[in-house]
Structure 1
């Protein structure tokens, strides 16, 4: 039996934060959660794009949509955003670590880290750890961290995580997506050990049509890459379908902490949500703990409140 947005239980009186909610998977997630009654905090870097997306949802008859300024490439912005959520709401039920960047030319975050590692992993890790106190004691609180199939090709460059030498934009992307899964599983393990009661899961969208692909192609300027994406176009599913695994992870009664969801067809490229395999490196507790420690060192005290 396939799982769809119609299977999302009522989210009345629940507060969900979605990073990157102005487009793609984030917008689809915000739409689905709002439709089921949740108050949705749309956390976005660009206020103009966020307002446009919110207006689009409001015109469709949805309600309970709030905007939050959040630049994951600046850990100080993350800290301010988390404080604002605390001031406005005082609690949080669901966190979708959804926003991401893919395969840009080498750029650095405000704190000097490679952009993809900084935004996709460090920014979300900092946001999560600073919001966890707001989720403690909430019924069925969950953190869903969005990764991709690139995790299977990723490896952590322990001695050069910011790719100062020999930068490869897809290698750096794969590293960040592997880091997403490692963080999700290690957070779950620590919650279990501490009795925190918050579940942590991972999800990936398969091949979903979002802004990431055209942006990556434009920034790379590689004709062969553009041709490859055109040939693959029939395999891409909609952003709404791509968002189903993270929605399932966040709301399905059967979804458990530490699980990873993705599409069920064509080797995880498209389809409806199902449990899927996890990159072997992410199953290694020693590597996960090493990444956690490295992340704390890189963030220089900006991970925690």
Structure 2
């Protein structure tokens, strides 16, 4: 945005203490949040853990965003029409939420861990939306995905993938992808569209939701299941020490 006034706050989603410090800086500096977009992420990384001992894809992609969102809840509550938007992926279709902590590196499947994390962030948005409605808060939670957008997210996978077939697939996906400037449109829809509603999932219009224009889509069934919500929120409260 030309002429925008930007404030940078140092915050590492892979370190819950850093999340706390970053949230405290935001709370002390601002009186409201119109839109909180949970966008940061890593994809299909080799096994590793965060500073807090959490499998790093779930730790960065989900638990860090959960902790930040809960800590910033006072500002969301204070802002009429506020929105919490999480950035998911078509990979959420294959998530099963294997909530094992501490993780067993012998059973680690990096692609499945990514799928789980991207299902979890959809549930994060929807759980917040249900919380807002339950407590009569004028705010919404939505999620969306960018289709296949050309960013550096897949670099780690390409650099560390030793299977020639998998490498070929990734290279084909790169050729099928659309520019990042188009991939951001579903997220902007969720963040700004006046007709958007809580607990919506915004995807893209093309075949397989690989590329296209923003459209209202639907996440997999677990994203709407209150039992799955409760299970993930219980895990989140236990790991982060923060309950929604």
TM-score range, shorter chain: over 0.9
Equivalent position to 1:107, from 48, 51, 65: 48
Structure 1 residue 224 displacement after superposition: 2.4
Larger CA deviation: 112-121 vs 160-169: 160-169
Matches within 5 A, 1:43-54: none
CA change 1:280–1:161 in 2 (3 A) is: farther
Q: Is the 8 A contact 2:54 2:101 kept in 1?
A: no
Aligned length: 244
In the alignment, the residues of structure 1 paired with residue 74 and residue 104 of structure 2 have an alpha-carbon distance, to the nearest angstrom, of 33
TM-score (ref. length: structure 1): 0.76
In 1, the alpha carbon distance for the partners of 2:100 and 2:46 equals: 20
Q: Counterpart in 1 of 2:4?
A: 63
RMSD, aligned CA = 1.6
Is 1:156 aligned with 2:105? Answer: no
> Secondary structure in 2 aligned to 1:95?
strand
C-alpha contact (below 8 Å) 1:104/1:220 kept by paired residues? no
TM-score normalised per structure 2: 0.95
Equivalence for 2:215: 274
Contact 2:200 2:218 in 1 (8 A): no
Q: Are the aligned partners of 2:186 and 2:214 in contact in 1 as well (CA < 8 Å)?
A: yes
| Structure 1 residue runs without a partner (length 5+) | 1-34, 36-60
Aligned to 2:25: 84
Offset at residue 165 of structure 1 (A): 3.9
In the alignment, the residues of structure 2 paired with residue 163 and residue 149 of structure 1 have an alpha-carbon distance, to the nearest angstrom, of 26
Given that 2:237 and 2:243 are in contact with CA atoms closer than 8 Å, whether structure 1 keeps it comes out as no
Residue 146 (structure 2) pairs with residue 198 (structure 1): no
Larger deviation, residues 169-178 vs 83-92: 83-92
CA positional deviation for 1:158:
3.5
Match of 1:220 in 2: 161
Is contact 2:37-2:87 (8 Å) kept? yes
How far apart are 1:304 and its partner, in Å?
Answer: 6.1
Structure 2 residues not aligned, in runs of 5+:
none
1:236 aligns with 2:189: no
Which of 16, 19, 37 is 1:75 aligned to?
Answer: 16
Moved over 6 A (4+): none
**In structure 1, distance between residues paired with 2:138 and 2:57:** 30
Report how far residue 217 of structure 1 moved: 1.3
SS in 2 for 1:142: strand
